[in-house]
Amino acid sequence: MTDAPPYVRPPSAESLGQAPGRGRLIGRRILVVGGGQQVVDPATDPVGNGRAMALLFAREGAAVAVADRSRDAAQDTVNLIKGEGGAAWVIEADIAREADVSRMVDEATQALGGLDGLVLNVGIGVGGLGLAAIKADDWDQVLGVNLRGPMLCCREALPRMAEGSSIVFISSIAGLIAGSRLPAYDASKAALGGLMRHVALEGSRKGVRANIVAPGLVDTPLGRRATQGRPGRGTAPQFFGRQATGWEIAYAALFFMSDEAVYVTGQILAVDSGLTGIS
């Protein structure tokens, strides 16, 4: 008797980025930090999380400021949005630099005419695998981008955000369970939960919500690059028989950004086919 083949969850129109907008963000002004995309293979690259979110928010009626440390990557996202008739602006900024963060929030607020949405889609993982291989400089670099950067963004943006705004942190299930073998990355993503809850507490004074989307394994250009360095990532078991798409992460962020989540704050949503809940 042979084992039955694993169930494969067929992608929906939303999974493929083919569903029409439904007007869920009309009038919203959103800054997407990390809205560009790294290039691994231009001919086959799927959409990344940041680009998918920026495109989806625009399709849903929002005006979007796309920030990235690569101006070209941000410009490509903006071109796609404008090609679909949306409104978008480019901002070049590296959130590891405090001055860049302040300027980025200034430029976004001015371009959009205000700010009522912020997405923090940033994260790096550098250094060797395991505690014995990590260097102090690598640790500092990872936490500087993955934790200090989002803190600076919230510090600068929260006072300027309109009542009822939403902040969405894009984290990782590496902050919930062990497995990446990158101690600094895991620690930074776990600590992001503490930062998010503090932001939710301060934001509650004017109805600003803060939540986390924690993706599992996602088929993005960055994910494919990670798999090149760690082939086991590409063969890890998935309850739905495949990795997520960037669009599926974007729809989770859309829920938190929309008024459908008006009574949800301080929460972590794992988009991982159940890896952290039923494995």
How far apart CA 143 and CA 136 sit, in angstroms, is: 11
Phi/psi zone of residue 164: left (φ > 0), alpha (ψ -120 to 50 degrees), beta? left
Backbone angles phi, psi at 28, to 5 degrees: -80, 150
Confidence at residue 275, expressed as pLDDT on a 0 to 100 scale = 86
- Check 7, 185, 251, 263 and give the catalytic one: 185
List the CATH number of the domain containing 247. 3.40.50.720
Q: Is residue 9 part of a domain?
A: no
Confidence at residue 220, expressed as pLDDT on a 0 to 100 scale = 82
In the chain, which stretches have pLDDT less than 70?
A: 1-5, 226-237, 279
Confidence at residue 241, expressed as pLDDT on a 0 to 100 scale = 86
Structural domain span for residue 174: 29-278
| C-beta of residue 95 within 8 angstroms of C-beta of residue 123 | no
**36-53, pLDDT tens digit by residue?**
998 888 888 899 999 999
> Strands (DSSP E) along the chain, which ranges?
29-33, 63-68, 88-92, 117-120, 166-170, 209-215, 218-219, 244-245, 268-271
Q: Is residue 22 part of a domain?
A: no
Q: Is residue 112 part of a domain?
A: yes
Q: Is residue 212 part of a domain?
A: yes
Domain count, the chain: 1
Confidence at residue 1, expressed as pLDDT on a 0 to 100 scale = 43
Confidence at residue 234, expressed as pLDDT on a 0 to 100 scale = 57
Q: Is residue 159 part of a domain?
A: yes
Q: Is residue 101 part of a domain?
A: yes
**85-128, pLDDT tens digit by residue?**
999 999 999 999 999 999 999 999 999 999 999 999 998 888 77
- Count CB atoms within 10 A of the CB of residue 119: 29
Which residue bears the tokens 């070049």?
92
Is position 185 annotated as part of the catalytic site? yes
| C-beta of residue 211 within 8 angstroms of C-beta of residue 265 | yes
Q: Is residue 163 part of a domain?
A: yes
Q: Is residue 221 part of a domain?
A: yes
